[in-house]
Amino acid sequence: MTAIRTIAVGFDGSPDSEVALAWALDLAAPAGARVVAVHARGLLARLEGWPTSALESTVRRLAEEHGVSGVDVSVRVEEGDACSVLARSSHPPVDADLLVVGSRGEGKHPGLLLGSTSLELAQRAEVALVIVPCARDLASP
C-alpha cells in the first residue's frame, strides 16, 4: 500500500463538505499528510462573486478545531464543474493520493444515496476515493 502524502477534499463550505474535511483532517494528522481543500468555482459562483476568503477562514477554523496545527492545510480554487476539478486533483499541482467528498445526495439523480458528483467521481477517479456520509445519511429511518 502506498503512503498517503496528499488528501484532496471537495469543499464548498456546505455542512456536507465540512464533515468530509473534518474526516480528512483526522486522517491526515497521524499520517503526516497534507490536506488541500479543493473548491470548484462554476459559472454561478463567478456571477455571485463567491468569497474565497470565507472558504479559507472556514478551512482554517476546522483545522484548528481538529488540532492539526502540524498538518499543511491549504485551499485551492479552480474553474470548472466539481467532478472534473476534483478528478484533476490527482495530478500536479495538487497530486493527491486520496480524494474525499461528502455525500450530499441531492443532485440530479433523486433517490440515490450518493449525490451526482460523488457518483460520477466514483466512476472517474484515478486514485482512492472516500465518500463520507453525513449525519442525516446515518440516521435510522
What are 22-80's pLDDT values in tens digits? 999 999 988 889 999 999 987 555 545 556 778 888 888 888 888 776 678 999 999 89
CATH class of 6-138: alpha beta
pLDDT of residue 136: 53
Task: Write 61-67 long-range contacts (CB < 8 A, 24+).
Answer: 62/18, 62/21, 62/22, 62/25, 63/25, 63/35, 65/22, 66/22, 66/25, 66/26, 66/29, 67/29
Would the pLDDT of 109 be above 50? no
For residues 83 and 69, the model is more confident at 83
pLDDT of residue 51: 67
Domain boundaries, the chain: 6-138
Confidence grade of residue 89 (pLDDT, cut at 50, 70, 90)? very high
pLDDT of residue 133: 86
pTM: 0.83
pLDDT of residue 107: 46
